[in-house]
Amino acid sequence: MTSTAFLLIAMLALAAALIKAASMLRGNRPPGQGILLVLLLALAIAAAALPARVQRAEGLAFHDAGRILANITTMATAFSILALLITLGTPTAQARPKILRRLAALILCAAGMIAGFAWASPLPKTPGGFASLYATHPGLLLYTGLYLAYFAVALAELLIRSIRYAALSRQRPLLRGGLALMGLGSLLGLAYIGEKAWYLITQATRLPPPLAPGSQACGLLSPPQCLFSVTLPATAVVLAAAGATLPVWGETLAAPIRYYRNRRTLRDLEPLWNSIHDAFPQITLPGRGPRRDIAFRVYRCVIEIHDGRLLLRPHMSPDAKAAAEQAATARGLHGDDLRATIEAAQIAAALHARDHGTPAPAAPPEPHAQPDDSNISREAAWLARVSRAYNTPLVRDIARP
């Protein structure tokens, strides 16, 4: 089961890397895409090298080659996640030297690990991997110590950055969710490092190990030694990588939900848009756009409603607003429902006044805020609420005194 899970992760990461590479070849290269591609490839190699069968096959060419490959590519995955966060959250001039310093640390640690392993070689083939060899092979202490040190520093920085950036991404749920996954992965990885460091010290000093090795085959959750030495680090890297890429693939998974939500919003906007458009046909923007692009149609609808409301300003009456507030409050409305009803009543009263030639009020109309292009979905949701209120008997009664 463990091997199957790792191979599945490797295939998914490789598929995502191929899709990303194809997108980049088509010229789609936003900031950080090259690092994201390296991240996916490193994750695919690391996950593919972890299963015991793969490590045994690689060991035919060089003893424990699979372990070395898995450890170094896991470090490369952690580096790529950090580099991606630095690229997206730091100006380019400052990001490049920070990434280069971390890359230099990765290369030095990887070179030191290979040197340590070469120093310890040849290694006898013993059950349980390196467990019984640390006391007699200092090269293995160097190898594992460098691996744990690099991983600990990288995960600590990843945890700090994920917490810091999460506080700045309250309006972006996918990004915030990805940062939460990265933070959780960092915590699991640090737990693995703590257990591994403790285990390394006990083996080097010939003390009893913190977790006795089990006699059964290694699974995802048992024996405990496999849980800490295999499942925890793999889960930590997968969670961190999933969190780093969530804003990319999460958008794709959320597309059907977003499409349905936009269709419902467009349907809710229709009563208000139809009334304003009938009064001011000139608000229609040029160009139709793809009919299946519901998000674009919602955007157009919001802009056109706001354009029509600007044309209605001369007919807006403070008396209509006061009457709407009094009537809506008497019906028990409050909060956003009250504000939406007042705005809908003002629009309905202005349209009625325009159609019947009622003189414009002497008082100047209140200024009207323009739509916030940076959060058009929030603006559309508000106008949909106004449009639903516009279609109620209460608003119709206020508009036609």
Q: Which residues contact 225 (CB under 8 A, 6 or more apart)?
A: 211, 212, 213, 214
Q: How far apart are CA 112 and CA 357, in angstroms?
A: 86
Cβ–Cβ < 8 Å for 65, 50: no
Q: Is 42 helix (H, G, I), strand (E, B) or coil?
A: helix
Q: One-letter amino acid identity for 227?
A: L
Instruction: Give me the residue label for tokens 């919003």.
Output: 265
Q: How far apart are CA 285 and CA 300, in angstroms?
A: 7
Q: How far apart are CA 318 and CA 363, in angstroms?
A: 8
> What is the pLDDT at residue 395?
85
> What is the pLDDT at residue 265?
93
Q: Is 335 left (phi over 0), alpha (psi -120 to 50) or beta?
A: left
> What is the pLDDT at residue 361?
59
Name the DSSP class of 281: G
Q: One-letter amino acid identity for 102?
A: R
What does the buried/exposed string (b/e) look like for 244-268 if buried means 16 or more CB atoms within 10 Å of the residue's CB? bbbbbebeeeeeeeeeebbeebbeb
3-state secondary structure 46-80: HHHHCCHHHHHHHHCCCCCHHHHHHHHHHHHHHHH
Q: Which residues contact 274 (CB under 8 A, 6 or more apart)?
A: none
Cβ–Cβ < 8 Å for 147, 233: no
Q: One-letter amino acid identity for 219?
A: G
- Two tokens at 276? 């304003």
The answer regarding whether domain 2-253 maps to CATH 1.10.3470 reads no
> What is the pLDDT at residue 107?
95
Instruction: Give me the residue label for tokens 């990885």.
Output: 189
Cβ–Cβ < 8 Å for 17, 41: yes
- For residues 104, 109, 113, 116, the Cα torsion angle rounded to the nearest 10 degrees is 100
Q: Which of 366, 368, 392 is nearest to 379 (CA)?
A: 368
Q: Which of 102, 75, 76, 72 is nearest to 87 (CA)?
A: 102
Q: How far apart are CA 236 and CA 186, in angstroms?
A: 6
Name the DSSP class of 315: G
Q: How far apart are CA 326 and CA 341, in angstroms?
A: 11
> What is the pLDDT at residue 189?
86
Cβ–Cβ < 8 Å for 123, 136: no
Q: Where are the domains of the chain?
A: 2-253, 280-399
Mean pLDDT by 10 residues, the chain (401 residues): 68 79 74 76 76 55 67 86 84 88 94 89 65 75 90 90 83 83 88 84 73 54 63 77 76 82 92 92 78 84 91 83 86 88 89 75 52 70 92 80 60
Q: How far apart are CA 167 and CA 237, in angstroms?
A: 22
Q: Is 227 helix (H, G, I), strand (E, B) or coil?
A: helix
